Structure 1
Amino acid sequence: MNPPLIVNERDGSRFAQAPGDTVLRAALRAGIGLSYECNSGGCGGCKIELLQGNVETLWPDAPGLGERDRRRGRHLACQCRAVGDIIIKAPTAPEYVPPILPRRRRAFLIGTTDLTHDLREFRFAADGPADFLPGQYAMLDLPGVGASRAYSLSNTSNDHGEWHFQIRRVAGGRGTAMLFDALRPGQEVGLDGPYGVAYLRTAAPRDLVCVAGGSGLAPMISIARGAAKAGLLKTHRLHFFYGARAPRDVCGQDLLAALSGFGERVTYTPVVSAPEGTDWDGACGFVHSHMAATLPGPLSQYEFYFAGPPPMTQALQELLMVDHRVPFEQIHFDRFF
């Protein structure tokens, strides 16, 4: 039986859907720039209209799709699969064309390291090179967990096939329960990637600002490491801000300290929002406010990368785009919920 054929009426593109793929993953695997961000049903960035044929919906209550969208026959490309040939109407753009085509791999856990009380690095190895851009993420298919989980990478591409993730334990989360409590070295997971559009732009002439919160540390560490690997830190400065709720959540400094130029061209500033009852003597408040108050130049002079909890990323978007009129092409983030 031939795989389902998907035709996008908007741009005339045609692509096949391999077994196990969603409409979105099939498009990206074919090199077609279908609009998306989280690949997990939360952001709503991959809405499509189904014009002909049928789809299977994987997560009927996905928060990225509202009731009005459902009434109008819209679907999330990341949460539906074609059942036979279909015709869709979906937005595409050059910025969503994958610079590295995602593919599926078998990966094996080779080690872990605790970073804080609830943040742990997981290191996997797979056959062949680990080919991705700094700041991208991959989808993990974990034993006993039905749906794929999106986790950001913290290392950089390498020929020995290592994929590193820094993941925060989520209370009641099936994915992190498997990772933290059940998965053992040597066990296999499915790894599909890379995905994501908030990767390092090595040609940008501006100094870099990375802002991270929680497990948003991973892609920002990857960006910093990628900048060092590309030689950018010889000519650019990197201002790295980490927002934490309490002092015990602060992390990342030791990872940045391994980069050449740390303390000079690379600076690290942790900001704690709830320091009460501790002996914390560092910066306090919200990380986006502290960043805006302490950067030495106008915000429009920087290239911004950020990742973290939705309230933090939303506040940063408003601060940069509305309050300081930073051009959109200088702002890089993937929305996760």
Structure 2
Amino acid sequence: MSGETSASAPPLRIQVEGGPAFEMAEGEDTLLRAALRAGVPWPYECSVGGCGACRYELVEGEVVTLWPEAPGLSERERRRGKRLACQSRPLQDCRVRVRLEAPPEEAPIPPRPLQATVVGRRSITPDMDEFVLQAPGSALFLPGQYALLHPPGVVGARAYSMANLPNAEGRWHFIVRRVPGGAGSQALFAALHPGASVLLDGPYGHGHLRAGERDVVCVAGGSGLGPMLSVARGVLAEAGPRRVHFFLGLRQQAELGVLREFEGLDPARVQVHTALSAPDPGQPWAGHRGFVHEMIAPALPAPLDQYDHYFAGPPPMVEAVQQLLMVQHRVPFGQVHFDRFV
């Protein structure tokens, strides 16, 4: 029997041209996540190849591209040598060119991979479930952030936002919508029953709750309910008097069961407005018919620039809310918070 042990490979060194250098440990899955764990303010939004925010150029070294067809890059960008950090795994020391973000005023919570166990699951609507995961240590994140889950049998990670608040018990709550044809959500619904294990990596995201004095507007569509509930709960956990104006966009009356999620929130500080975009004509509905963003300005007692705005949901809804706030009502950029998923 040999007394020799196999040594781990030394970490790779990644040098940002004109900026910091950081190490990428053996077993790390992507350049982006290695940078964020090292505290490097690499630009990003979705973390899974859809948005293109983490694009960079490889100056020296070699990387493998995990998803060559990722929609976050156009063919023209690929021809020009652009790459996505969230889809790049360095094979050797590298030098890269990227415009880093300005360091935030407060140090972000570094993301970390955790092996989590499903300890609870319940149905919210016919196509949405809440999954409760237990992971080692405290659940460290900011209200409104997301984590990456690695569904069993599916290549790559999927981004899902937390619906609860950070806690010392290590509980991570996710509200997930089963997407027709979506490999990630279909795998989660099929495999994540109590007792199952899943790799969780987080937190990520810029659309998190900020401290302030202005009342808060939350706009949620579909499974965007999760992060907006987290933001609303975060506001209520503050010592101040801030109120939440919550705008919820659903499709039909069958989804109205999500309103039970608001029963534990202080009705004196949270006002919920619900819109149905395609109400079933065979069932009663006296509320707003149409898209959720159409309700916002008429329902609020003050101009839109008097609020801090948070929103999450399908890309068309996110784009419509952006247009409403930033173009039509000139809400300052610093009062608009969301994460872009494509």
TM-score range, shorter chain: over 0.9
In 1: Cα distance, 2:64 partner to 2:106 partner: 25
Instruction: Say whether the 8 Å CA contact 2:247–2:274 is kept in structure 1.
Output: yes
Aligned residue in 2 for 1:249? 255
Deviation at 1:97? 8.0
- Check if 1:306 corresponds to 2:315: no
Identity rate of aligned residues, in percent? 52
Q: Secondary structure of the equivalent of 2:125? A: coil
In 1: Cα distance, 2:107 partner to 2:310 partner: 18
Aligned residue in 2 for 1:16? 23
1:107-146 deviation digits (Å, cap 9, x = unpaired): 0001111110101100000111111110001111222112
TM-score in terms of structure 1 length: 0.95
Letter in 2 for 1:306: F
Aligned residue in 1 for 2:325? 320
- Check if 1:43 corresponds to 2:48: no
- Check if 1:208 corresponds to 2:216: yes
Deviation at 1:168? 0.2
Aligned residue in 2 for 1:131? 140
- 5+ residue gaps, structure 2, are 1-8
In 1: Cα distance, 2:106 partner to 2:126 partner: 38
TM-score in terms of structure 2 length: 0.94
In 2: Cα distance, 1:312 partner to 1:126 partner: 32
Instruction: Say whether the 8 Å CA contact 2:119–2:134 is kept in structure 1.
Output: yes
Letter in 1 for 2:161: S
Structure 2 counterparts to residues 205-284 of structure 1, below 5 A: 205-232=213-240, 235-260=241-266, 262=267, 264-277=268-281, 278-284=283-289
In 2: Cα distance, 1:200 partner to 1:265 partner: 16
In 1: Cα distance, 2:146 partner to 2:200 partner: 10
Deviation at 1:251? 4.6
In 1: Cα distance, 2:90 partner to 2:284 partner: 56
Q: Secondary structure of the equivalent of 1:144? A: coil
Q: How has the CA–CA distance of structure 1 residues 98 and 107 changed in structure 2, closer, same or farther, with 3 Å as cutoff?
A: farther
Letter in 1 for 2:12: P
Instruction: Say whether the 8 Å CA contact 2:58–2:95 is kept in structure 1.
Output: yes
Deviation at 1:21? 2.4
Q: Secondary structure of the equivalent of 1:115? A: strand
Deviation at 1:258? 0.7
- Kindly tell me the number of residue pairs found equivalent between the two proteins: 331
Instruction: Say whether the 8 Å CA contact 1:273–1:285 is kept in structure 2.
Output: yes
Deviation at 1:276? 4.5
Q: Secondary structure of the equivalent of 2:168? A: coil
In 1: Cα distance, 2:104 partner to 2:87 partner: 21
Instruction: Say whether the 8 Å CA contact 1:31–1:97 is kept in structure 2.
Output: no
Aligned residue in 1 for 2:4? none
Instruction: Say whether the 8 Å CA contact 1:33–1:98 is kept in structure 2.
Output: no
Letter in 2 for 1:172: G
In 1: Cα distance, 2:94 partner to 2:260 partner: 50
Letter in 1 for 2:269: R
Larger Rg: 2
- Check if 1:159 corresponds to 2:163: no
In 2: Cα distance, 1:21 partner to 1:95 partner: 25
- Check if 1:57 corresponds to 2:61: no
In 2: Cα distance, 1:81 partner to 1:182 partner: 28
Q: How has the CA–CA distance of structure 1 residues 121 and 98 changed in structure 2, closer, same or farther, with 3 Å as cutoff?
A: farther
Q: Secondary structure of the equivalent of 1:236? A: coil
1:197-233 deviation digits (Å, cap 9, x = unpaired): 111002x22100000000000000000111112234x
| Higher mean C-alpha displacement, 22-31 vs 139-148 | 139-148
- 5+ residue gaps, structure 1, are none
Deviation at 1:38? 0.4
1:154-190 deviation digits (Å, cap 9, x = unpaired): 0011111100100000112222122112222111111
Q: How has the CA–CA distance of structure 1 residues 217 and 166 changed in structure 2, closer, same or farther, with 3 Å as cutoff?
A: same
In 1: Cα distance, 2:220 partner to 2:230 partner: 11
In 1: Cα distance, 2:315 partner to 2:151 partner: 24
